[in-house]
Amino acid sequence: MLRMYKKFIPLVLFLFVFTNQGNAQTRNNLIEINKVWDKFYLAFDSLDYKLMAEIHSKSLVRISGGQRITDYETYINNYKIRFKKAKNNQVSNAISLRFFERINNDSLASERGIYELIIDNQENKQSYYGQFHVIFKKEGGFWRILMDYDSNEANTIGEKEYLKAHSINNLNKFIQE
């Protein structure tokens, strides 16, 4: 009987390692995903819709304000128009993200948090806050945004919630060892 169990031990160990490896949240995944967020930030800073196009999956599902759903083409075209208008009106945009959840494996990631969008038209600087939920999928070796949802939760999200969330660089908070 003991001999029979000894034959299964290597199989059980292999399955344990193999299945856990596919679900392992890693620092490397967060570092790679942060590079996508860096491009996201840069797209707002430089008003470059092409950067937005680069980091989003062609299969994108965008849910804006919890009220409407758009696809990749519509979403990117909206940024093309928005960023062009901002450039023409000499309006700057800056966005910052803070997180309360970051979950990933080797092919998918779910990130939730609070954003602050600052719009400065040289006469008036305004901050807007909202909660986001983004799903990333690794496509062709690169992380891309597959689903992007945001809402201001009936204007209940503000600076207080933003500051309670964790910095994008606080990776240790989200590593599951």
Q: What is the pLDDT of residues 120-156, one digit of tens each?
A: 998 899 999 999 999 999 999 999 999 999 999 988 9
| Bridge partners for 151 per DSSP | 131
- For the chain, the domains span 26-170
Mind listing the pLDDT tens digit for each residue in 16-32?
A: 333 444 445 689 999 99
Judge contact between 131 and 116, C-beta under 8 A. Answer: no
Q: Which long-range contacts (CB under 8 A, 24 or more apart) does 165-168 make?
A: 165/98, 165/99, 165/100, 165/113, 165/114, 166/98, 166/99, 166/100, 166/113, 167/98, 167/99, 168/34, 168/37, 168/97, 168/98, 168/99
Judge contact between 168 and 102, C-beta under 8 A. Answer: no
- Measured over all CA atoms, what is the biggest interatomic distance in the chain, rounded to whole angstroms? 82
Mind listing the pLDDT tens digit for each residue in 29-81?
A: 999 999 999 999 999 999 999 999 999 999 999 999 878 999 999 999 999 99
User: What stretch of H or E contains 20?
Assistant: helix 2-23
Neighbours of 115 (CB within 10 A): 19
**Residue 150: which of 103, 112, 100 has the closest Cα?**
112
Q: What is the pLDDT of residue 74?
A: 98
3.30.70.260, 3.30.465.10, 3.10.450.50, 3.40.50.261: which CATH number matches 26-170? 3.10.450.50
Which residue is associated with the tokens 């901050």? 127
User: What stretch of H or E contains 38?
Assistant: helix 27-46
Judge contact between 114 and 162, C-beta under 8 A. Answer: yes
3-state secondary structure of 130: strand
Q: What is the pLDDT of residue 3?
A: 53
Residue 10 has pLDDT above 50, yes or no: no
- The predicted model scores a pTM of 0.83
